[in-house]
Structure 1
Amino acid sequence: MNTPPQCPVCGMDNTYFDGTLFICPDCTHEWAAGEENIATGELVVKDSNGNLLQDGDAVILIKDLKVKGSSLVIKKGTKIKNIRLCEGDHNLDCKVDGVGLKLKSEFMKKA
């Protein structure tokens, strides 16, 4: 039998599975299977297809994006190299044509 994982919040081994969630009775934290890395503070960013993105990946735009405050439009199919993940609504930090931008991962697919 598999032993349930440690609680990602308090680190105690006294956890159990109730059918849908893992539960820690010590700190009352509940989490679904596969969410251990989310609760530990690791940044999880997915592209439009659900693939996990990492720092340094290359992505391709899936639609034209207008740059706010500028007449610049980034065209569909543009390949963006060496992305950096950051927290917030716009979770990708990158350079496009020499301009530093923060973009949303929902408009990207992994190259």
Structure 2
Amino acid sequence: MSDLLKQLEDRSGNACELCSSTDTLEQKVELAVYEVPESPKNVKDISILACKVCREQLEDHSKIDVNHWRALNDSMWSTIPAVQVVVYRMLDQLKAEGWPQDLLDMMYLEDDTRNWAEEGIQRGPQIIHRDVNGNILKRGDSVVIIKDLDVKGSSLIAKRGTAVRNISLVHDNADQIEGRVGPTQVVLLTQYVKKTSGE
């Protein structure tokens, strides 16, 4: 075992520093060293202990499971700068979901740590969800369906005029939102919904 791995295991109590996963009799979470990308040269501790699930999603954004990252609610309070940087970057990436933005607003970082975190953020084109009239949609908004829509994989038809409340946004697709039509959670195309006035 490397000295670094041993140090990180001791520091974290043998738990993933992002989601707190630990090895159990049923499951090995495969804890390993994760080096924080885009780290400044003058920072000594640039690694964290992370489980296989966290590492895979950090390295391949197409594998991101938003619900897995709800654990950041706890790890955001870590006093380890390298952990804070990874948490901050992931929350920033997921902020269209709503709750990660709330956590970002609560997070406190020293200036040096914030600069480190900001430098590694991939600033791609921002994904903005808009309704049929061009109004910006946010998580929690209410919309009305403007056309009868077949719901894939079911016999359900989402009728024109149906109100869909408390929508969520598909974080990697500006043309899709999610909401409940009756008892069913469905994906809706933004071109077929209209934001409710007064929202």
TM-score of the aligned structures, taking structure 1 as reference length: 0.59
Equivalent residue runs for 1:15-94 within 5 Å: 42-86=126-170, 87-88=172-173, 91-94=176-179
Partner SS for 2:191: helix
Distance 1:40 1:69 in 2: 33
Letter in 2 for 1:91: Q
Contact 1:89 1:104 (8 Å CA) reproduced: no
Q: How many residues align?
A: 73
What is aligned with 1:107?
192
Equivalent residue runs for 1:2-17 within 5 Å: none
Q: CA RMSD in A?
A: 1.8
Distance 1:48 1:90 in 2: 10
Structure 1's unaligned 5+ residue stretches are 1-38
Structure 2's unaligned 5+ residue stretches are 1-122
Structure with bigger strand share is 1
Deviation at 1:43, TM superposition (A): 2.7
Which structure is larger by alpha-carbon Rg, 1 or 2? Answer: 2
Letter in 2 for 1:53: L
Distance 2:136 2:175 in 1: 16
What percentage of residue pairs aligned between the two structures are identical?
Answer: 38
| Greater Cα offset, 44-53 or 86-95 | 86-95
Cα-to-partner distance string for 1:21-80 (whole Å, 9 max, x where unaligned): xxxxxxxxxxxxxxxxxx655430000001000000000011000112221111100000
Structure with bigger helix share is 2
What is aligned with 2:28?
none
Distance 1:110 1:90 in 2: 14
Distance 1:101 1:42 in 2: 24
Contact 1:58 1:80 (8 Å CA) reproduced: yes
Distance 1:89 1:51 in 2: 13
